[in-house]
């Protein structure tokens, strides 16, 4: 059965996370995604990360995560022939995705507005660090910079201590999500108008999108929210992370009924907490009242209560109280083996050249009539260069010229990136 975006052709000129994650979305939806890479490939192919004892020939985990199911064409866009390959690709494509800076694209002859004019049916999706306008529109960005600029880092960590970046590349992923949504929206518009268009998003804008409620609250009250450590900065409630007797973290959200609230405090033999009028309704317990009155007291009581039992004892208790919203804080290995993730294909297995079988994040959307594509491995560098160029009408001499040039440039580019060790 066809995927929801089968028949859509996407050309991706992107690196690292933000742009390639857009391409991965399209690939998972059934589109044909052609990743155009420089002679050395996307630098994320070589990103080793931490705790990595895999062979040096193994793909980098960042590359695997973002590039499953794509085709790879390796060309040098600084050459006339390489640029001609790109132009022919764009002429037959539905979507062009890039996270290169606009100035870099212009130097390649791919100025965004001009590409949109040359190919009027093409949806051009561009995502950068700080937005398409303003004095810093072309400023370089990596994920942590957008987190800091957008305010998320400023609200992460304990009050009075150094702010902490979140433990994930939320800026890049959120920017990718916004770009994918914008591109699909532009495709819907093209179905009505017959014309593509340029759509632009940014990591900075995506950080604001992730915090729409928190920012709205600060804007309306005129008082910026502050870091609350293991609690949410805009929830005056018991809501937060607490440690069990055997030092396992629990995310306690709320007791949604009076019966479950009562059961909780009776389970820990602390019935005096039930006399606190500040928390005697579900709305108060989830923070609707927004009052500081008794907040420190109830959080101290909750800290004491959770520490009275082991994780196993809490799991047994919570299983009898479905109206208490809670979760054990998981690490990545627990996420990998979580039956709920496996049942929904959120985590699936793939085979990778150079490192063998591994788990990976699958497709996170389920369609009743047009199922998404199972995640396949990312492509070897330039695996599809010859077949793609042949389909575009290039002759064997031109294909050989591109292949030989890429091979000749690859080593020098890798030395420039990684050194000559």
C-alpha to C-alpha distance for 366 and 377, rounded to whole angstroms: 20
Question: Does 15 score more than 70 pLDDT?
Answer: yes
Residues 322 and 371 in one domain: no
Residues 383 and 304 in one domain: no
Residues 123 and 173 in one domain: yes
Residues 156 and 256 in one domain: no
Residue 234: inside a domain: no
Q: Give every strand in the sheet of 240-243, ordered side by side.
A: 240-243, 249-255, 324-328
Residue 189: inside a domain: yes
- Domain with 122, as residue range(s), is 9-210+336-418
Residues 139 and 280 in one domain: no
pLDDT band at 41 (very low <50, low <70, confident <90, very high): very high
Residue 357: inside a domain: yes
Question: Does 183 score more than 80 pLDDT?
Answer: yes
Reading the block at residue 33, the tokens are: 């995604």
Residue 39: inside a domain: yes
Burial of 331 (0-12, 13-18, 19+ CB in 10 A): exposed
The domain boundary, picked from 280, 297, 328, lies at 328
Averaged pLDDT score across all residues of the chain: 96
Residue 229: inside a domain: no
Give the distance from CA 224 to its chain's centroid: 26
Residues 30 and 69 in one domain: yes
Q: Give every strand in the sheet of 71-74, ordered side by side.
A: 71-74, 32-37, 9-13, 95-98, 123-128, 198-202
Counting runs of H as helices and runs of E as strands, what totals does the chain give? 17, 11
Residues 15 and 134 in one domain: yes
Look at the chain and report how many structural domains it folds into: 2
Residues 182 and 290 in one domain: no
For residue 417, the model assigns a pLDDT of 87
Give Cα separations from 19 to 88, 124, 125, 167, 172 (angstroms): 21, 12, 9, 20, 8
Residue 183: inside a domain: yes
Q: What is the mean pLDDT of residues 131-152?
A: 96
For residue 421, the model assigns a pLDDT of 62
Residue 258: inside a domain: yes
> Which contacts qualify for 189-196: CB closer than 8 Å, 24 or more apart?
190/121, 190/123, 194/121, 195/120, 195/121, 196/94, 196/116, 196/119, 196/120, 196/121, 196/122, 196/123, 196/124
Residues 99 and 201 in one domain: yes
Residues 93 and 60 in one domain: yes
The domain boundary, picked from 281, 312, 328, lies at 328
Give tens-digit pLDDT for 313-344: 999 999 999 999 999 999 999 999 999 999 99
For residue 133, the model assigns a pLDDT of 97
Report the percent of the chain where pLDDT is more than 90. 94
Q: What is the mean pLDDT of residues 236-253?
A: 97
Reading the block at residue 175, the tokens are: 């920017």
Residues 184 and 282 in one domain: no
Query: Residues 405, 76: contact at Cβ < 8 Å?
Result: yes
Residues 148 and 256 in one domain: no
Give Cα separations from 142 to 101, 149, 203, 357, 400 (angstroms): 12, 11, 9, 30, 36
pTM confidence score: 0.95
pLDDT band at 55 (very low <50, low <70, confident <90, very high): very high
The domain boundary, picked from 309, 328, 347, lies at 328
Q: What is the mean pLDDT of residues 296-319?
A: 98
Give tens-digit pLDDT for 196-206: 999 999 999 99
């Amino acid at each position: 059965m066809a995927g929801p975006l089968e028949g859509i052709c996407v050309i991706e000129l992107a690196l690292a996370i933000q742009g390639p994650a857009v391409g991965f979305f399209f690939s998972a939806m059934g589109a044909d995604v052609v990743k155009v890479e420089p002679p050395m490939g996307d630098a994320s192919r070589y990103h080793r990360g931490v705790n990595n004892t895999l062979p040096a020939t193994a793909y980098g985990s960042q590359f695997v995560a973002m590039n499953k199911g794509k085709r790879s064409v390796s060309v040098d866009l600084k050459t006339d022939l390489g640029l001609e390959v790109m132009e022919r690709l764009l002429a037959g494509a539905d979507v062009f995705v890039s996270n290169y800076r606009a100035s870099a694209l212009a130097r390649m002859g791919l100025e965004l507005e001009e590409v949109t004019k040359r190919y009027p049916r093409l949806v051009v999706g561009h995502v950068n660090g700080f937005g398409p306008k303003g004095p810093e529109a072309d400023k370089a960005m990596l994920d942590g910079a957008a987190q800091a600029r957008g305010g998320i880092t400023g609200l992460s960590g304990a009050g009075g201590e150094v702010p902490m970046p979140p433990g994930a590349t939320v800026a890049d992923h959120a920017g990718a999500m916004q770009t994918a949504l914008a591109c699909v929206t532009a495709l819907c518009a093209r179905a009505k108008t017959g014309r593509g268009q340029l759509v632009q998003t940014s990591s900075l804008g995506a950080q604001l999108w992730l915090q729409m409620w928190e920012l709205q609250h600060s804007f309306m009250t005129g008082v910026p929210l502050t870091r609350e450590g293991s609690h949410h900065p805009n929830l005056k409630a018991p809501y937060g992370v607490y440690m069990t007797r055997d030092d396992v973290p629990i995310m306690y959200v709320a007791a949604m009924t009076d019966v479950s609230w009562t059961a909780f405090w009776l389970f820990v033999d602390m019935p005096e907490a039930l006399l606190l009028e500040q928390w005697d309704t579900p709305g108060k317990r989830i923070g609707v009242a927004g009052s500081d009155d008794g907040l420190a007291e109830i959080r101290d009581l909750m800290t004491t209560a959770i520490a009275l039992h082991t994780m196993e004892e809490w799991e047994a208790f919570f299983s009898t109280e479905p109206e208490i919203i809670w979760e054990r804080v998981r690490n990545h290995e627990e996420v990998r083996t979580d039956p709920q993730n496996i049942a929904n294909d959120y985590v699936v297995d793939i085979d990778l050249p150079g490192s063998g079988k591994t788990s990976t994040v699958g497709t996170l959307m389920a369609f009743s009539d047009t199922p998404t594509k199972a995640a396949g491995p990312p492509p070897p560098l330039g695996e599809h260069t010859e077949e793609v160029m042949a389909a575009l009408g290039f002759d064997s001499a031109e294909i050989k010229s591109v292949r030989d040039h890429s091979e000749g440039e690859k080593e020098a580019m890798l030395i420039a990136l990684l050194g000559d060790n």
